[in-house]
Chains A and B, each alone.
Chain A
Amino acid sequence: MPLPVLLDLVVTDTSAATPGADPAPVGLAAADAIAAAAQAVGVTALRLLDGVPGRLGVDPTVVAGYLAGRHAGLGYLVDLPTTGNAPYNAARRVLSLDRAASGRAGVVLRPGAGDEVSDAAVPDPAASDPVERWTEYAWILGRLWESFPRTALLGDQERALVVDDALVREIAHTGRFYRVAGPLDGPSSVQGRPVLVAADLDVLDWAAIAVSADVVSVSREQAPGADAALTAALDRVGRSRVDVALVGRTAVAPVDAGRAGAVAGELDGWVDADRLDGLELQVGGDPAEIAATLRALVPQLVPQLVPQLVPQLVAPGRADGPGGDGLRASLGLRASLGLPAVAGVLA
C-alpha cells in the first residue's frame, strides 16, 4: 500500500498573515486549492490544526465539513481540545463529520482543561491532571462512537421499525472528570468509528496513548525509540502494534521537482530508521509552493512494501492487513473490531 501521508493545514484570515510559521496558515480558498492538489497526488488526509502558536485559525470541524463535501477522496483529521468541549458534543460532532465524509474522518484529541457544562457537574471536584482527563475523554469518545451500531438501523417501513433499539446501548460512564449517559443520536460510520490520534507526547504518556489511540504523531525528536515504547505500552493493555499507526511529523521547506528526490530519500530513511508507518508533513511557503511541493514530493515517497507488523504476533485470521473502508484502512489499520476492553484503566 502507499505510505500514508498526512498534510497539516491551518486555515485562517488571509488579511492577517503569520510569516515563518510551519505550517503556513492559508485562507479558505487556498485551502480548497491545496486540498485539490493533495487529493490528486494521493495524500491520505489533511490534519486541520486549531491555529498557530498565539493565534487561532478557523475551527477545524468547520473547515473539515466544508472541504469534505468538495474533496471526497481525502481523509480529514480535526484538532479538538478537551477545553471547551463536553465529550458528548465532541463525539457527536466528529462522528457526524465521519459519517458525512463516508468514514474518512478522525480527531486529534488535544489535552487541556474542561468545559463550563461538564465542570459544573464534575463527579470529583479534585480531579485536575490533564493526562488523566485525556485518557478518560478518549475512552468516552470510543464508547459513544460504538453506542449506536450501524446494524441497528432497520428502516423497516412495513413493521414501522426505524431502529432495533436493543442494539443501541447507553454507555453509563462515570469517571473522575465526566459522567455521560449516552447513547449517541446517530449510527456508527462505515469505518466503525472515527480515527483517534494522539499528538502531544510532551504531555501524554505512552500508557495513556496505548488505551485508546489509533494513530500516534511524533516529532523528529520523539521518534527514536517510539516504536518500541508504543509496542510495549500496547502489550501492557492487551493491544497489538498493528492496531496503531506511528506517524512522523516534520517540517518540510518548499521544494521543486529537482530537489524533491533528495528530500523524499531522507524521509524514507527516517521512516525505516524509526519504524514509522506514515508521515505528517508541515509544508512551509505560500499556497502555490505548498501545492507544488506536494506534487513534486509525495509521488516520490517509497510505498510501504511490508506493513510494519510481525505476523507471528498477530492472532490467526486477524493478520490480513488493512480492512474495511475509509480513513482507517488508508492508514493501514484494520477495520474497527470493537474497542479493546482494558480492565482497570479507569477507576
Chain B
Amino acid sequence: MPSFSETTAQAEHATVGDRSVGPVLPQVARFDTPLPLACGRTLAQYELAYETYGTLDAARSNAVLICHALNASHHVAGFYAEDPGNVGWWDNMVGPGKPLDTQRFFVVGVNNLGSCFGSTGPLSTNPETGRAWGSDFPLITVEDWVDAQAQLADRLGIRQWAAVMGGSLGGMQALDWAIRYPSRIRNALVIAAAPNLSAENIAFNEIARQAIMTDPDFHDGNFEAYDAKPRRGLRVARMIGHITYLSDEQMDAKFGRQLREGLNFSFAPEFQIESYLRHQGEKFAEYYDANTYLRITKALDYFDPATREDGDLARALAPATCRFLVISFSTDWRFPASRSREIVKALVRGRRDVSYTEIAAPHGHDAFLLDNPQYHAVVRAWFERIASEIGAAQ
C-alpha cells in the first residue's frame, strides 16, 4: 500500500515512535440513506473509510473526531501491520501518552467524501452506470463532509463529540461542526485555519486546478477511460501547493541556493529546491487522484460560513456553544495568524469561550503537523482539562 496519507511534513519527520497506537485496521461504514449535497445532487449511497484508536467509554463521552486537510486521510495514527512505514499523518499528536492521549480518548479519523483513499469518491463505482464516477462525481463542500461525518457519528453511537479537531481545511470542518451541530460538540480545536480563503489562496488553488485540467492526459476528467493519468498536472499542482505549506525562511535554511552538482546551463534540475519539488510532485502524482484534487480545492474555495449571514462571521458563529481553542503559527503565510484572529474576534464578539495561541514556529503552514513543545503542550493541556471534566481514565 502506498504511503498515501503522507503530507509534506510527514515525508521527512514521521517515524514510528515508542508511544504509537501500534498496528491499526482501516474500516469502512456503508450508508444507504441518501445524502443531499450542497450542489443540489444527492448521493444515494456512500461509504466512509475510518479508523479508531482507544476505547469509547460507557457514557460515550470521550470521543474525538479528527478532520483531515487537503491530501490526508483517515489514517491519523499508528501504522499498518503489512506496511509499517505507512505511519498516520498525525501520529505525533495522537497516541498513548501523546497530546491527544488514546488511553483516555476514543479517537476517530475519517476519510472525507470525494477523496481517493477509501471513502466514496471519483475513483468509486457509480452504481447507476457501473463505471467509475470520474469527472461525474459531484462537487462536495465542507458542509457535505460534516453531514457525512455526523452520519458516521450516529453509526458509532456518538451523540456528542468531546472534541472535533483539525488543522487547515480540517480546522474548517471543526468550525462547521460547531456552527451546524452545536449540540454534538463540546470543544472545537481549530488549528492553522481560516474563516474562508483569501483571493490569494483561491488563486493558488486555481493554478493547481489549471495545471491538472490543461494536462492532455486529463481528458476532461475521464482519464481512466483513456487508461491515462494527468501526472504532469498533478506534479505541478503539488509543487505549487508545497511551496505554500513552507516558509521562506525554512526553505532557505533547508535548501538555500545549494546545487546538486554545478551550473550546467541547462534546464535540468540544478538547484536542490528544484529536485526536491520535482520529487514531491512525482510521489504525489502516483498516489493522488486528479478529480479528487480538483474537488477538495473547490471545497476549500467555497467554505465561507459568514456568507450565510451577510459576511458577519460573529453572527455565523452565534449558534456555536462549544469551547474553542484556536491555534496559529507565526510563519504560516497560507493561513496567517491574522486569519485565525478573525475567528477569535468573531467568537469574542459573540461572548463565546475561546482561547487563542500563536505558536512561534519556523515551518510555515506545515507547522501544525510537526513537533513543537509549546504547541503540543497547549493541546495536551486542553485535552487534560476535557478529560478531567468527563472523568476520563488516567
Interaction A to B: no
Chain B interface (Cβ < 8 Å from any Cβ of A): none
Chain A interface (Cβ < 8 Å from any Cβ of B): none
